Chains A and B, each alone.
Chain A
Amino acid sequence: MYPKPIERFFAPTSVAETLKLLDENRGNAKLIAGGQSLMPMLKVRLLETQCLIDLNRVKELAEIRESTDGLTLGAMVRHADVEANQFIRTNYPILNDAARVIGDPQIRNRGTIGGSLVHADPAADYPAAVIALDARLTLTKSPSKSRTLAADKFFLSPMVTAAAEDELLTAIHLPKPPPRSGGAYVKHSLVSGDFAIISVAAQLTLDSSGRCTSARIVIGGAASGATPAARASALLAGKKLDEAVCREAGETAAGEVEVSSDVRASAEYRRELIRYMVPTMVRRALDRAGGAK
Chain B
Amino acid sequence: MKTPVHITINGEPYESMVENRLLLVDFIREVAQLTGTHVGCSVEGRCGVCTVILDGKPIKSCLMLAVQADGSSVLTIEGLAAGGKLHPIQEAFWEKHGLQCGFCTPGQMMTLYGLLKSPKRTDEEIREAMSGVLCPCTGYVHIIEAVKAAMAKVDTMTPAEREALFPL
B-facing residues in A1-48 (Cβ within 8 Å) = 1-9, 11, 32, 35-36, 39-40, 42-44
Binds A, one of B29-37, B52-60, B73-81: B52-60
Report B-chain residues with C-beta under 8 Å of the C-beta of A39: 45, 62-65
Q: Is the CB of A5 within 8 A of B1?
A: yes
Q: Is the CB of B59 within 8 A of A106?
A: yes
User: Given B20, B111, B132, which contacts A193 in the complex, CB threshold below 8 Å?
Assistant: B132
Q: Is the CB of B20 within 8 A of A105?
A: no
A39 CA to B131 CA, complexed, in Å = 20
A78 CA to B62 CA, complexed, in Å = 18
Q: Is the CB of A109 within 8 A of B20?
A: no
10 CB < 8 A contacts A-B: A7-B20, A8-B20, A9-B65, A11-B70, A44-B43, A105-B111, A105-B115, A106-B45, A106-B132, A192-B128
Given A52-B65, A107-B45, 13 more pairs with CB closer than 8 A: A2-B21, A5-B19, A6-B20, A11-B70, A32-B68, A35-B65, A39-B45, A40-B63, A54-B68, A56-B68, A104-B48, A105-B114, A107-B132
Q: Is the CB of B68 within 8 A of A11?
A: yes
B143 to chain A, nearest CB (A): 15
B129 interface contact, C-beta 8 A: yes
Q: Once A and B bind, how many residue pairs between them come within 8 Å at the CB atom?
A: 88
Q: Residues on B close to A: CB < 8 A?
A: 1, 3, 19-21, 23, 42-45, 48, 51, 57-60, 62-65, 67-68, 70, 111, 114-115, 128-129, 131-132
On chain A, the number of residues with a Cβ less than 8 Å from chain B's Cβ atoms is 31
A103 interface contact, C-beta 8 A: yes
Q: Residues on A close to B: CB < 8 A?
A: 1-9, 11, 32, 35-36, 39-40, 42-44, 52, 54, 56, 80, 103-107, 109-110, 192-193
Contact A5 to B21, CB < 8 A, known contacts A11-B68, A105-B111, A105-B114: yes
A42 to chain B, nearest CB (A): 8
A52 CA to B21 CA, complexed, in Å = 10
A257 to chain B, nearest CB (A): 28
B12 to chain A, nearest CB (A): 23
Q: Is the CB of B21 within 8 A of A3?
A: yes
User: Given A4, A7, A9, A193, which contacts B131 in the complex, CB threshold below 8 Å?
Assistant: A193
Report B-chain residues with C-beta under 8 Å of the C-beta of A110: 59-60, 63-64
A42 CA to B20 CA, complexed, in Å = 13
B107 closest partner in A (C-beta): A106
Report B-chain residues with C-beta under 8 Å of the C-beta of A35: 63-65, 68
